[in-house]
Amino acid sequence: MQPGRMTIEREDVDGVAVLALATPDRDTNVVDDDMLGSLAVRLAEVVADPDVRGVVLTSARASGLGVGADVAWLPELAARTDAEAFLADVHDLMLRMVTCPKPIVAAVHGTALGGAFELALGAHVLLLGDSAVIGLPEVGLQLMPGGGGTQLLGRFAAPSTAAELLTSGRRVRAAEAVELGLRVEVVPDADLRDAAVARAATLAATHDGTAEDPAAGRDADGTGAAAVAARRDELAAGRGGLSRAAGAILDVLAVGLRDGLAAGLGAERDGFL
């Protein structure tokens, strides 16, 4: 996965590589081939750099991390002859983030929706500025998140919360994210970058390189499966019923809880296509 143009800036601060999304000629970042390819290149750089101990993923744009993929690009993606291979590359990139031997801290201010939020969910720690608005709105377009969101959100939220947010598609402000029990830290926007650098450095000081096992299930006691089933019943009993997209999202969420992140990503890929 190689970018046509580099859309992620890099600045090293005290052994922490700060990677800032910066779509050229736009006020808002867009997740596309160039952005994903740029992240793959930058991630490989920092993993190989012995002077880098930790990573911060953030935005160079005042508007925030971004709004995900350009909506007009999504039908093009589904119609591409290489769509399956492309999504496999995207999911491989997310697995590389999750299993990165150096701690990654996502620092999110402003808007982070869809694919942009999915990139943040690949980090090990999620810091939100007090202006942050996050969400995975794809279900409103009768689509499944395609960048790992069905699996990655559950790393920061209880299964019941992940099921509700994925199938409602609603936007959540930073303060509500805390109220919902998401495993996030909220700091003032003005302090966000410095706080993220400090957090990455602190994590690096004690991190032994052990990575999350993407093959390990996350629902040993069955509470996750019960939460997914409860959300399915709730939607089915509602006025609009259980939409096809919401049902598919819950199916894929259940796979990941039962069989692990890698299996869940495979199910997401199949469901998106």
Nearest to 7 by CA among 134, 82, 166, 116: 116
| Residue 152 identity | L
**Residue corresponding to tokens 């040993």:** 220
CA–centroid distance for 224 within its chain: 20
Q: Which of 259, 255, 254 is nearest to 232 (CA)?
A: 254
**How far apart are the C-alpha atoms of 108 and 119, rounded to whole Å?**
11
Do β-strands 172-173 and 133-135 pair in parallel, antiparallel, or remain unpaired?
Answer: antiparallel
The DSSP annotation for 221-260 comes to TSHHHHHHHHHHHHHHHSTT---HHHHHHHHHHHHHHHH-
Q: Sheet holding 133-135: strands in order across?
A: 111-113, 133-135, 172-173
Q: With contact defined as beta carbons under 8 Å apart, do 113 and 69 qualify?
A: no
What backbone phi and psi angles, to 5 degrees, belong to 189? -50, -40
Indicate which residues carry an active-site annotation: 118, 138
